[in-house]
Amino acid sequence: MARSPKRRTRRPTRSARATRSVPPKPSEAEQRLLALARELAALGVDPLPRAVDLLAGAYAPDAPLPRAMYRASLAGRGDKTKMLALAWAREQVRMALEEILIGSRTGVGLAAETHAWVLLAACEALAHEPPSAVADRRRALAELTRRAH
């Protein structure tokens, strides 16, 4: 009986060994969104009017956040990881706003989740408004957050 030659197992080379993946550096937009979410979460007593002012200011036509979001969106085209990170950061803002709405009694008649989404979308739209229209839009936002009697 002939013996089959002993097969050698290869050791993985240095390049084939698992390397630690380094998470990508957060974009300016992610950093700004996460800071905004933290600010919203820390507003304290009767936070809704201040939350709307904070969001409206963050998304004003001349504010840095809309420009950072635009740049991050362009840089993330074709990069699913970057786009997911940006979406996750935005979702943190929406969820912080939702928590505020849960604690506030508004007379709008929407679920807090939907109301937060509508308010955030309206604030994001401020970046595309002419500066002369922003005051009117902010009054409309105040109407969307009025208290129930």
43-78 pLDDT per residue, tens: 988 899 999 999 999 999 999 999 999 999 999 999
- What pTM, to 2 d.p., does this model score? 0.80
Percent of the chain as helix, strand, coil, to the nearest 5: 60, 0, 35
pLDDT at 138 over 80: yes
Q: Residue 149: pLDDT band by 50, 70, 90 thresholds?
A: very low
Q: Residue 146: pLDDT band by 50, 70, 90 thresholds?
A: confident
Q: Give percent of the chain above pLDDT 70.
A: 85
For 63, counting Cβ atoms within 10 Å of its Cβ (0-12 exposed, 13-18 middle, 19+ buried), the class is: middle
